[in-house]
Structures are given as structure tokens and as C-alpha cells.
Amino acid sequence: MAAAMLIAAATATFSADKSPRPYPVSDDARRLAAELIVMRGDASRLAADEDQDPPALSPRVRSALTARLKGSAGPLALLLRRGGAAIAGDDVAVLRAGIEAGEWDGVVARLDQLIARHPFDPTGILPLDFSPKAVALGQTLHESYCLGCHEGGDLPDWLPMPDLFEMARTLDDTELAARFYNGVRGAAETALDQPMSAGDLGAMISFYRTAPHH
């Protein structure tokens, strides 16, 4: 989402949620917990696809999901440390080995263990606010910062951009909140901190959930 690089400045204009940050838990702990949920979702899609004949996922999507899992596993040890986790010696090594081998059921099981130890805190994002004001805010944010890439942006073929409306129809609230929390980041000037408030993220999800079939 290239346009998100400008969002830190614009959020002050659009945000309906003026509550101060940080979030109730540290950003590092929340980012870790969100990343684990996102990884589990990706690994679950790959695991489920192995039971499909023919496969439901295209080779391009399978490749992108696998690459994203490998990329996420790289800094996971650092995220665990920064999130205040006590790391078992084989946590990350076993997870990386499973991803490299494509043993998706085992990867999901290992991620379930980590998620149980590091649950995601969706405070402020959930429960969703479906008021007209919140939905309108979500639409404004989508049209200003997400539409360009997620609806026909000029992206390389190896980077399929997810359909946010389809995500909202198919994922549960917690996974959606985690994906949005980690999926929007600022520019280098903001140290890549989360530039949106929790209310902004919740408003975007509410918009995607209530929008007419896309």
C-alpha cells in the first residue's frame, strides 16, 4: 500500500478517534501477536489448499503466501524479544523449518501454540462500530489510501494485492483486525510506526463489511 506512506499526516484530518497512543499494550507486543495471527491465516490457506483437487489457489497466490511466510519468519525472533517473550529454544527454528519444507499443518500447530502465549489485543478496533459516521470514515480512508493499489494498482506480477472486500467477507473479526493492524505502516520518517488510530482501522473494516458486493 504505497500511498500509506502519506497517511500519518492525513490521519489528523480524517480520524474520528482522537484517543492518544500507545495502545493498551505495547506496539511491539501487539505487532508480534498480530503477525502470528496473519501467519497462521496464510499457513491455514496453504494447508487447506493441499486437500483441494484441483487446488483452489493459483500457483501465483501459493508462491506469494509462501514468500510472505518466509519473510515473516525471518524477523520473528526479534519480534518475540521486543514483545517481551520468553523464547523456547526451538520455537522459531522449528517454525522456519516447517515453512521451508511446506509442512503447513505443522506450521499451523506451532503458530497456535505461539498465539496461545501471545494473544492479540484488538482494543479500540473491535468491537466494530457500524454507525454511519464510522462507515463514512472508513470509506474516505479506503478511497484516499487503499483504492489505488488494492483495486488495479500497477504492481509486479509476483505481488498479488488482496481484495479487501473479499477479506472482510471471509475472515473473522480478530484476523481482520490483526491484518489491518500490521498491514498499514508509516514511512521511514515515522519509524514505520502504525500511523492510524485503532478507531481508523475499525472504521475501515466496518466499511468493507457493509459495502455492497464488490
Alpha-carbon distances, residue 34 vs 69, 72, 74, 76, 183 (angstroms):
13, 11, 16, 12, 10
State percent of the chain over pLDDT 90.
Answer: 50
Of 2, 77, 1, nearest in space to 35 by CA: 77
Residue scoring higher pLDDT (75 or 132): 132
Q: Are 204 and 128 in contact (CB under 8 A)?
A: no
Q: Are 25 and 121 in contact (CB under 8 A)?
A: yes
SS3 126: strand
Of 69, 114, 120, 116, nearest in space to 88 by CA: 114
pLDDT value of position 90: 77
Of 60, 106, 114, nearest in space to 85 by CA: 114
pLDDT value of position 67: 92
Instruction: Say what the pTM is.
Output: 0.79
Give tens-digit pLDDT for 91-101. 888 999 999 99
* Confidence at 184, pLDDT banded by 50, 70, 90: low
pLDDT value of position 147: 79
- Across the range 93-113, mean pLDDT stands at 96
Strand partners, 126: 123
Grid coordinates of 196: 492510524
